[in-house]
């Protein structure tokens, strides 16, 4: 009762990273609220997943194991979640702001008449004083998200309705296990009690999922290019540097829109969030929406011909110059001075 619950998402048979990030966050919220952390996993053949989930400090894992629950489809998953929430009355429910989370979250919130905040980048616990009602709410979930195209940051609260629901962007929160030997309990749900036959009305006819070869998120070094790189051909320089440093190539939206590189490489508010050891921003001006995806990099180098580019404010090293001049010099020095 009144716990924190995380919807764990299956992505082609694996639990999505964002779910682990949410479990990590969920554990710390549960500690602050002095309640339990619960997880919900729906799909087919779920045996074994508990070994991955419990170490995040999960006290109860609800499993809905039924071959009709995989692949994901809106109505059956909604139905399990809504009925479980009616019984368990969680105070907070979290899910990834993925294609699945953003399809499912609003449906569940609408059924339960509870609020939902999309695409949060931060979650905190705090109080709220309603001056008009002269009422103080204790320990609410602050749901913090960029708004208005990323130009402002809004803190949203949900004073009266439960659960307080939020979807969270992948990559913005850390993933950290609590204890490899953490012991929780499994509750197997009787799916037929939670889902009505009529929920299977939408049928998946075909699916084509490409295995992503690009893994910018987990790369220790990201060499990222913007519109200032100038062309797809010039991006080769970035690929060479990245290969040499054991990193990946990222990009700004302007570079993606210009067709220099594929969309999967986009970093920022509407792309991937990264936190590498080293981020090299080449010809990127540093608009808020881009910074949102890379601000937590340990070391940031900016290569920009404009000494006043906004990105320079947050860079540890600013190289004022042209990408096409600077990168070959970096490559040359590196080749000559490492084995």
Name the residues that contact ligand FAD, by CB under 6 A. Answer: 149-150, 226-228, 230, 252-255, 266-271, 283-285, 287, 289-290, 293, 303-306, 309, 322-323
Q: Is the Cβ of residue 13 or residue 71 nearer to another protein in the bound state?
A: 71
CA 51/CA 97 separation, integer angstroms = 24
Question: What minimum distance in Å lies between the beta carbon of 264 and another protein?
Answer: 8
By a kind-dependent CB cut-off of 5 to 8 A, residue 243 interacts, out of another protein, ligand FAD, none, with none
CA 89/CA 309 separation, integer angstroms = 49
By a kind-dependent CB cut-off of 5 to 8 A, residue 111 interacts, out of ligand FAD, another protein, none, with another protein
State the DSSP code for 212: P
CA 187/CA 276 separation, integer angstroms = 38
Q: Is the Cβ of residue 17 or residue 65 nearer to another protein in the bound state?
A: 17
**Contact yes or no for 277/298 (Cβ under 8 A):** yes
By a kind-dependent CB cut-off of 5 to 8 A, residue 117 interacts, out of another protein, ligand FAD, none, with another protein
Q: Which of 38, 113, 80, 36 is nearest to 193 (CA)?
A: 80
Q: With contacts defined by CB under 8 A, name the span among 21-29, 31-39, 100-108, 186-194 that binds another protein.
A: 100-108
**Contact yes or no for 316/297 (Cβ under 8 A):** no
What are residue 146's DSSP bridge partners?
A: 153
CA 84/CA 63 separation, integer angstroms = 11
Q: Is the Cβ of residue 43 or residue 293 nearer to ligand FAD in the bound state?
A: 293
Find the binding residues for another protein in span 185-244 (CB under 8 A).
Answer: 201-212, 221
- Using the rule CB under 8 A, is 172 a contact of another protein? no
CA 294/CA 290 separation, integer angstroms = 7
By a kind-dependent CB cut-off of 5 to 8 A, residue 329 interacts, out of another protein, ligand FAD, none, with another protein
By a kind-dependent CB cut-off of 5 to 8 A, residue 182 interacts, out of another protein, ligand FAD, none, with none
By a kind-dependent CB cut-off of 5 to 8 A, residue 121 interacts, out of another protein, ligand FAD, none, with none
Sole binder of another protein in the list 31, 50, 70, 75 (CB under 8 A): 75
**Contact yes or no for 299/278 (Cβ under 8 A):** yes
Per DSSP, the three-state class of 255 is: helix
- Characterize 37-56 residue by residue with b for buried, 16 or more Cβ atoms within 10 angstroms of its Cβ, and e for exposed: bbbbbbbeebeebbebbbbb
Sole binder of another protein in the list 21, 59, 119, 248 (CB under 8 A): 119
- Using the rule CB under 8 A, is 175 a contact of another protein? no
């Amino acid at each position: 009762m009144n716990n924190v619950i995380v919807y764990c998402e299956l992505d082609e048979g694996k639990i999505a990273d964002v779910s682990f990030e949410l479990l990590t966050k969920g554990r710390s919220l549960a500690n602050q609220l002095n309640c339990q952390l619960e997880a919900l996993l729906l799909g087919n053949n779920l045996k074994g997943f508990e070994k991955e989930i419990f170490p995040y400090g999960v006290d109860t894992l609800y499993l809905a194991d039924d071959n009709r629950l995989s692949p994901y489809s809106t109505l059956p998953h909604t139905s399990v979640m809504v009925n479980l929430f009616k019984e368990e009355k969680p105070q907070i429910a979290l899910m990834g702001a993925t294609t699945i989370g953003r399809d499912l979250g609003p449906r569940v919130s609408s059924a339960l008449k509870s609020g939902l905040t999309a695409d949060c980048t931060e979650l905190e616990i705090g109080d709220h004083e309603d001056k008009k009602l002269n009422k103080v709410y204790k320990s609410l979930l602050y749901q913090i998200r960029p708004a208005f195209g990323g130009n402002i940051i809004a803190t949203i609260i949900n004073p009266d309705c439960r659960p307080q629901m939020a979807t969270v962007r992948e990559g913005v929160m850390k993933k950290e296990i609590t204890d490899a030997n953490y012991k929780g309990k499994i509750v197997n749900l009787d799916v037929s009690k939670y889902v009505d036959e009529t929920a299977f009305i939408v049928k998946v006819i075909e699916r084509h999922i490409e295995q992503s070869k690009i893994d910018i998120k987990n790369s220790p070094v990201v060499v990222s290019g913007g519109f200032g790189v100038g062309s797809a051909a010039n991006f080769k320089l970035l690929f060479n540097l990245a290969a040499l440093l054991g990193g990946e190539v990222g990009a700004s939206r302007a570079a993606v829109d210009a067709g220099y590189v594929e969309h999967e490489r986009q970093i920022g508010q509407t792309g991937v969030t990264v936190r590498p050891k080293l981020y090299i921003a080449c010809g990127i001006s540093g608009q808020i929406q881009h910074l949102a995806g890379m601000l937590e990099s340990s070391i940031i180098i900016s290569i920009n011909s404009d000494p006043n580019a906004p990105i320079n404010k947050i860079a540890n090293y600013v190289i004022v110059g042209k990408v096409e001049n600077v990168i070959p010099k970096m490559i040359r020095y590196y080749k000559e001075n490492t084995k």
